[in-house]
Chain A
């Protein structure tokens, strides 16, 4: 049935023929009905990456088929979510090797975007922990692939935004934990320079990320809170926490039942939020032991928080710049502060080395922020793109809904190789999304 769909940013919205499947045989049948498909999991990408004329929803293909509690190796079908992995693995003393800022992501989506987390500088992106995947390609075959078997397909599928085929299942290595808590250290940085020094000083921490007030100017420019974390050991826990050291997260509490009117989030309310958020930490350094849910997924507790941006939706802008481009970072942040369009969720992180075919991360600084959708936004982001391009950086495809194809083609240097692999396994470009067409990745 044709129906309206949109992803997390509520922009764009399109009409698609959406089909689900719960066996690989059903996918093969569907391929006979229509030629072009794009897989879709939880729709947590922000823009148009999982939208297309025909959408193959993986959410009913969601079984866990293997879990060895001794070695922490797990295999799940693509529609199984990180939320479900945690429910299963945490009580047995295992955790996700890499996690994004929300647990409502499918494993297919995690691989297709080659997601990164707060531990990227130490442990790389999701593909580093992926042992093997099964992909159903447009040539009608199911390939098992890994770093050693059909390696070209593996490399192109991790971060390949669904264009190599439908990921059917994912086998990966979990991370051993003794408790489900995180010992957390929060450090206030008065400005951007101080923040970058702190990142360097604390780079041995497993988890690090900073919240930045992108609207602060003058001497407060780049004021931020650096959040560091390690998995807590048993002796870090006291009282109730020590009694249930492997407690799993609970269900979301609050729900935003409808779209907020768009004036709710304006430059004043965001500025106020940022001010309050920065000043809520009285001390320069604050330490605590918190549950992983609050540490990794602070927003998951509010269902449908994206509705706060109202009906027009919002865009997330995430880019990465090489380490030597601090001036470029300042230039961009200055532009945002001037424009007074920053969001109340600006997140900065230092990526470690990574040199992949098509995955987003590469060594450098990455900044992600949300912008409410307004008339002047698209032009403004084009200006930011220019700076990113001049600095040799690039934009994360899973957050993108608008970049232009020239910039994209310049900023992903190995794109041609990627396209060759896509074509090899999909002789008739069977998989295409609104994004892949917009960016001229697919013919």
Chain B
């Protein structure tokens, strides 16, 4: 049976992906910080979908632990999805370095650290799929969230480079830019319904894009259009906008 590794499995998108892959019969390996929570998720998946599910403690910000985490897995997963992220508080981060660093580290450095390890193992065996959940916020820096945005921009560029490097080794790299998603992370925000996807919708789109070996997807098509427009606004005008 094929195996999927979910890094950041307790997030809403992580849980939705776990559900989708389990439903499709995959063996699911959950990785995250909260083991009690993963235990409940694992029990649920096993009962409802009758598949094998394991969970492993994973500390994204503890870079040195990543190698051991990956080697200790019972095997090499066919698909690795990097979901964890931290939205943070933009305003606070402007003056508090701790907050700023946390945003940059979680969304960029931690992702690079673990995916470097996964990439090498896939490259060696000439097989595997890496999925990175990046963000439309990385398409252009905006005053309302440019720490998060710039970290995600870095992550998007990283994934593009990785795709380029691994292509000749038959390793598939998928970049996902979900747009607004209705999750715990965004519950306090007022999101416009037509632009907001449910986590299950995101999971479905990712599952399909992996099958079709896509490079980059926007979950809701409208986001491609919005970001194309936003990217095309000339900087002298853009800098005056309140975005």
Binding site for B on A (CB under 8 A): 1, 18-23, 25-26, 60, 63-67, 77, 88
Contact = CB atoms under 8 A, between A and B. Distances in A.
B44 to A, nearest CB: 4
A66 B34 contact: no
Given A60-B184, A64-B47, A64-B48, A22 B190 contact: no
A60 B189 contact: no
Contacts of B43: 63-66
A269 to B, nearest CB: 32
B47 A88 contact: yes
Given A22-B12, A22-B15, A63-B43, 15 more contacts: A1-B190, A20-B184, A21-B184, A23-B34, A23-B36, A23-B37, A25-B34, A64-B44, A64-B47, A64-B48, A65-B40, A65-B44, A66-B47, A67-B47, A88-B48
Contacts of A60: 12, 184
A97 B44 CA distance: 21
Contacts of A25: 34
Nearest to B190: A1
A60 B48 CA distance: 16
B198 to A, nearest CB: 12
27 contacts: A1-B190, A19-B187, A20-B184, A21-B184, A22-B10, A22-B15, A22-B184, A23-B10, A23-B34, A23-B36, A23-B37, A25-B34, A26-B184, A60-B12, A60-B184, A63-B40, A63-B41, A63-B44, A64-B43, A64-B44, A65-B40, A65-B44, A65-B47, A66-B47, A67-B47, A77-B40, A88-B48
A22 B44 CA distance: 13
Contacts of A18: 187
Interface of B: 10, 12, 15, 34, 36-37, 40-41, 43-44, 47-48, 184, 187-190
Contacts of A64: 43-44, 47-48
Contacts of B190: 1
B16 to A, nearest CB: 11
Given A64-B43, A64-B48, A22 B187 contact: no
Contacts of B10: 22-23
Nearest to A88: B48
A18 B41 CA distance: 23
A237 to B, nearest CB: 26
Secondary structure of the B side of the interface? helix
A131 to B, nearest CB: 17
A251 to B, nearest CB: 14
A1 B190 CA distance: 7
Contacts of A19: 187
A64 B187 CA distance: 24
Nearest to B191: A1
A247 B190 CA distance: 41
Nearest to B34: A23
Contacts of B189: 1
In the complex, which of the residues A19, A22, A26, A88 has the most CB atoms of chain B within 10 Å of its own CB atom?
A22
B218 to A, nearest CB: 25
Query: Top 7 A-B pairs ranked by shortest CB distance?
Result: A63-B44, A65-B43, A63-B40, A67-B47, A23-B37, A64-B47, A1-B188
B27 to A, nearest CB: 19
B187 A1 contact: yes
A81 to B, nearest CB: 13
A20 B48 contact: no
B243 to A, nearest CB: 20
A68 B233 CA distance: 59
